[in-house]
Amino acid sequence: MTELSAVARRAVEAATGAGAGDAEAYVSREGGREVRVHGGEVESLAAATQSGVGIRAWDGHRVGYAYGTDLSDAGVAAIAAKAAEAAAVADEDEFAAPPQPAEIEAVPGLGDPSIAEWETARVADLALTVERTALGSDPRLVAVETAVYADSDEQVAIASSTGVAGSYEASSAYAYLSALAEGEGGARETGLGFGLARGPRGLDPEAIGAEGARRALAMIGAGKPASRSCPVVLDETVAASFAGLIGGGLSAKAVQRGRSPFAGRLEEEVASGTFVLHDDGRDPLGPASAPFDAEGVPRRRTALIEGGRLRSYLFDTYTANREGVSSTGSASRQGYRSLPSVSTSNLMVAPGELSLDGLLARAGDGVYVTDVAGLHSGVNPVTGVFSVGASGRIIRDGALAEPVREFTIAGELAAMLGAVSAAGAEPRWVPFGGSVSTPPLLIAEMAISGS
Amino acid sequence: MSGLIDQAVAERVLARALANGGLFAEVFAERRQGQTLAIDERRIESVQAGAEEGAGVRVVDGNTTYFAHVDGLDPAELERAAEEAAGALRAARTEPRPLQAREATPLPIERRPENVPAERKAELLRELDERARGKGGEIAQVNASYAEARREIAVANSDGLFTGDDRTRVRIGVQTVAKRDGTVETGAETLGAHRGFELLEDDPGQIAEQAAAKALTLLDAVPAPSGSMPVVVGGGFGGVLFHEMTGHGLEADHIQKGASVYVGKLGESVAEPLLNAYDDGRLPGEWGSDAIDDEGQPTQKTQVIEDGRLTSYLYDRLTGERDGAASTGNGRRESFRHLPIPRMTNTYIAPGDATPEAIIAGVSRGFYAVSFGGGQVDPATGDFVFGVSEGYLIENGKVTSPCRGATLIGNCLEALAAIDAVGNDFFMKTGICGKGGQKVPVGTGQGHVRVRAMTVGGTER
């Protein structure tokens, strides 16, 4: 850790030495492994370490960026020089300025010793148990396309010429499978099961395998629903995907650049009172939690939508400067390769009071959506208009009935938020839409297009 | 081999990889460097440069693959990766064959983008911005990006193969937002190739105007219809339909795991006899082309559908071995940090005889999908979905109102069999394809294609 911090400091010095007025270095080192199993055997076993540095250089109000994997003195100096060079190509932007240091408080519980303690054979067993549980659940569960266990342990250090300095270590582990069920006539259905934790001991392989099997089996014999408008219950995975889209629209960058359906709507009514949304970068259970964001600003909890009104956007230092407010600690990066940009940390949709059965009963007649496809192409993030592929179950007389697939759900994000009429009582962490904790949600009305 | 890795070092690494047994070992070394910049709100920003080096070593024993990767190409690090990959094996040493260098000829690059001053790239972005805004005052926002990437690779394996490739790709993209009163619409266009800066010498500003025109057209759009109807799919990126509907299902890993609707269909008729389709990693300059795949196998042209019959799956080395077939040069990986898996290169429906006008004229009421934001398929069930970024109604054989918010949805086998016309206006477009957490550049192409019936999921009430 001290070694990474030293690299970061060295990189900052190299950049200012190369002519940058200010500089910031983000250094990460990640060790990880992944086990894929198939048919009771280990299919692949991967072990890896990777490290790199990303350097942001300011030349007045021009910013440049460079990254690389060579952490030797000469390597870092070359990257620093490229960052300073890149800054000269950018145009002046009066709001581009390095973040100032702030008190950083540690977030407890980001690591899990079981990652180091569990040997590869033991985590391979975990993945094999996931597969075996699914295969043993029902004769119609004919295969598991793939079952995976993966973990990683990441160390991050940041330093800047303005005095930002910090480091942390966080671990994560997950397992998932794609189970295949076969109905009469040989048509196959897939079912996803997954679990997330800080380390392997936090995963329940039987529960993961059983979920994949349950989802695949539930889809056997699915037909197309009739086109109509009706109440829709989104399960946690689907609700998370939509929450992620909304989180994207609440980025101050999208808002300031006129590319968000939420632009200009601060303090306006944007949702029903039932839909309450926070971004929390410090929740001890949140996969994206950290003491500070991708530019060293402390992570925090931010109310986004409360009482039906839009309470705040998400800001990094640049967008906050532009608005004359403080950063919400919402700068993120895809590792050292990318410039920091505004994004959600852990999105938290507040739970309500109803069980899933309660939500279905409240829906009466409608559709329970358990999977959506085509989010990257079927949603316009600027306008919020969406039409995406879906599958799930019919809700009849307040209970789950036959499975349905090959239909679309369509609408507009803001209208959908206004139609959220109930939230389930049990939230779940889902790795879709970023990192999201959400219960299932009842939408009073949505357009279904099927047969 | 691009000077990435010394033959003697490669031999030592392979020997170390097989020290605990295994039937096959491979070292894949890579140097990647790139530059990207963008323009937004008329300002050049996000100027960045990157350089990464590293290697991945795999050992295959029976049905199990052991893989490790390291940053850097230092011989000691490569041996460490080999040791790590071999760590879980407990058998007797096997011996790699001596390496035989085999030169591959990289695709020609006329003007190396890294030798073009960054200021020239910034100027290009300013031109894109101007050209898009020049389409009218209703264009409210323009952002554009430029990206160049060079990947030098070397592959050595225990069968004695030692080869390499040097790949350079350039791509630009433009996104526009148009506004009129309360209506907001967007339009996007891209241009990319496995070529150098010469790609951008022939009026790249056209794509900015096209992106702006798309957004402006949509200002007059009506909500897309819903329901099953004939669909005409436009040329170029319309080929993403075939990519999702058929291409993924032909990747041999899906086939061998029973997770494809094309299992057992080889040699069978799956489409009308008018349909011929290929995966071709050798198309000169195309986005999805390379001299060799990421296992060192020369890329090739593979006919996957001949007169409506399914003629081939797409193999990498491992899946080929399992089927007793040769690799079709489709073993690709995102980087040295990933294992190769069967992937498409440039996939396309070969041109037919019909003119686009005649194809559209044959539809009394239907939907015309000119371009897509992308698509997704579950190869196991065959369910697919495509988001339409530019679409129109067809009424009485004529293209009429533009539509917003349309998605096409269906099942692979049904939709493939329902293609009843293929146009003669063939061209290719670029895409980025994601599979198993790995993104690779792919080309898609076709002329206009008509599908007898497909479900359009729109927002019309």
Query: What CATH number did the domain enclosing B40 receive?
Result: 3.30.2290.10
Q: B385 and chain A: CB distance < 8 Å anywhere? A: yes
- Nearest CA to B32 out of A372, A430, A424, A70 is that of A70
Residues A173 and A236 in one domain: no
Residues B168 and B303 in one domain: no
Dist CA B48 CA A305 (whole Å): 35
Quote the ipTM score. 0.93
- Nearest CA to B352 out of B445, B263, B422 is that of B422
Indicate the residue among A218, A240, A271 that finishes a domain: A218
Residue B1 lies in a domain: no
AA identity, residue B323:
D
Residues B235 and B212 in one domain: no
Residues A304 and A451 in one domain: yes
Q: B321 and chain A: CB distance < 8 Å anywhere? A: no
Task: Report which DSSP code applies to A84.
Answer: H
Residues A197 and A234 in one domain: no
Structural Rg of chain A based on CA atoms: 24
The torsion angles phi and psi of A321, rounded to 5 degrees, stand at -55, -40
The string over A167-199, giving b where at least 16 C-beta atoms fall within 10 Å of a residue's C-beta and e elsewhere, is bbebbbbbbbbbbbbbeeeebbbbbbbbbbbbb
The string over A215-236, giving b where at least 16 C-beta atoms fall within 10 Å of a residue's C-beta and e elsewhere, is bbbbbbebebbebeebbbbbbb
Residue B2 lies in a domain: no
Can you read off the two tokens belonging to residue B41? 């709100």
Smallest CA–CA distance from A43 into chain B, residue: B64
Q: B145 and chain A: CB distance < 8 Å anywhere? A: no
Indicate the residue among B200, B218, B236 that finishes a domain: B218
Smallest CA–CA distance from B374 into chain A, residue: A377
Q: Give residues with Cβ within 8 angstroms of A329, minimum separation 6.
A: A281, A292, A293, A297, A298, A299, A300, A345
Residues B284 and B149 in one domain: no
Residue B320 lies in a domain: yes
Residues B270 and B231 in one domain: yes
**Count of all residues that appear for chain A in the document:** 451
Residues A245 and A233 in one domain: yes
Cβ separation of A178 and B259 shorter than 8 Å?
yes
Q: Are β-strands A301-306 and B100-101 bridged in parallel, bridged antiparallel, or unpaired? A: unpaired
Residues A143 and A208 in one domain: yes
Smallest CA–CA distance from B57 into chain A, residue: A46
Dist CA B315 CA B164 (whole Å): 20
Per-residue confidence (pLDDT) for residue B461, from 0 to 100 = 56
Furthest C-alpha separation in chain A:
72
In this predicted model, what pLDDT tens digit does every residue of A217-232 receive, in sequence order?
Answer: 999 999 999 989 999 9
Which helix (H) or strand (E) is A115 found in, with range? helix A114-117
Report the gap between the CA of A117 and the closest CA in chain B (Å): 17
Residues A213 and A251 in one domain: no
B176 with B211: CB under 8 angstroms? yes
Cβ separation of B457 and A258 shorter than 8 Å?
no
Q: B143 and chain A: CB distance < 8 Å anywhere? A: yes
* Residue contacts between A and B (CB atoms, under 8 Å): 250
**Residue among B339, B373, B380 minimizing CB distance to A44:** B339
Please report, for residues A373, A395, B376, B377, B431, the alpha-carbon distance to residue B384 in angstroms, rounded to integers and kept in the order given.
8, 24, 6, 4, 17
**Count of all residues that appear for chain B in the document:** 461
Report the gap between the CA of A389 and the closest CA in chain B (Å): 6
Residues B186 and B256 in one domain: no
Residue B104 lies in a domain: yes
Residue A151 sits in a domain of what CATH number?
Answer: 3.30.2290.10
Residues A206 and A287 in one domain: no
Residues B92 and B151 in one domain: yes
Say how many CA atoms lie within 13 Å of A252 toward its Cβ. 24
Dist CA A290 CA A347 (whole Å): 14
Residues B210 and B278 in one domain: no
Report the gap between the CA of A229 and the closest CA in chain B (Å): 8
pLDDT per residue of chain B (461 residues) written in tens, 0 to 9: 458 999 999 999 999 999 999 999 999 999 999 999 999 999 999 999 999 999 999 999 999 999 999 999 999 999 999 999 998 888 889 999 999 999 999 999 999 999 999 999 999 999 999 999 999 999 999 999 999 999 999 999 999 999 999 999 999 999 999 999 989 999 999 999 999 999 999 899 999 999 999 999 999 999 998 889 999 999 998 999 999 999 999 999 999 999 999 999 999 999 999 999 999 999 999 999 999 999 999 999 999 999 999 999 999 999 999 999 999 999 999 999 999 999 999 999 999 999 999 999 999 999 999 989 888 899 999 999 999 999 999 999 999 999 988 899 999 999 999 999 999 999 999 999 999 999 999 999 999 999 999 999 877 65
Residues B211 and B259 in one domain: no
Task: Describe the crossing of helices A2-17 and A73-89 by its angle, rounded to 10 degrees.
Answer: 50
Indicate the residue among A192, A218, A244 that finishes a domain: A218
Residues A257 and A337 in one domain: yes
Residues A280 and A139 in one domain: no
Can you read off the two tokens belonging to residue B257? 């795991």
Residues B228 and B303 in one domain: yes
* A chain contacts of residue B404, beta-carbon cutoff 8 Å: 385
The SS3 call for residue A350 is coil
Please report, for residues B16, B58, B80, B157, B162, the alpha-carbon distance to residue B11 in angstroms, rounded to integers and kept in the order given.
9, 14, 14, 9, 10
Cβ separation of B50 and A68 shorter than 8 Å?
yes
Dist CA A290 CA A298 (whole Å): 8
Residues A430 and A334 in one domain: yes
Structural domain containing residue B334: 222-457
Report the gap between the CA of B304 and the closest CA in chain A (Å): 23
Indicate the residue among B162, B197, B218 that finishes a domain: B218
Per-residue confidence (pLDDT) for residue A1, from 0 to 100 = 63
Q: Give residues with Cβ within 8 angstroms of B115, minimum separation 6.
A: none
B68 forms beta bridges with A47, B57
Q: B70 and chain A: CB distance < 8 Å anywhere? A: yes
Dist CA A85 CA B119 (whole Å): 11
Cβ separation of A49 and B70 shorter than 8 Å?
yes
Residues A168 and A267 in one domain: no
Question: Angle CA(B403)–CA(B408)–CA(B410) in degrees, nearest 5?
Answer: 160
In this predicted model, what pLDDT tens digit does every residue of A33-89 receive, in sequence order?
Answer: 999 999 999 999 999 889 999 999 999 999 999 999 999 999 999 999 999 999 999
Report CA B386 to chain centroid distance, whole Å: 16
Residues B132 and B188 in one domain: yes
The total number of structural domains that make up chain B: 2
Q: Are β-strands B24-40 and B43-61 bridged in parallel, bridged antiparallel, or unpaired? A: antiparallel
Q: Which residues of chain A have pLDDT under 70?
A: 1
The total number of structural domains that make up chain A: 2
Indicate the residue among A218, A251, A276 that finishes a domain: A218
A372 with A444: CB under 8 angstroms? no
Cβ separation of A89 and B88 shorter than 8 Å?
no
Residues A189 and A251 in one domain: no
Per-residue confidence (pLDDT) for residue A165, from 0 to 100 = 97
Indicate the residue among B188, B218, B248 that finishes a domain: B218
Structural domain containing residue A278: 222-451
Cβ separation of B41 and A257 shorter than 8 Å?
yes
Residues B398 and B300 in one domain: yes
Q: Name residues 203-222 of chain B within 8 A of A (Cβ).
A: none
Dist CA B54 CA B4 (whole Å): 10
Residues B127 and B70 in one domain: yes
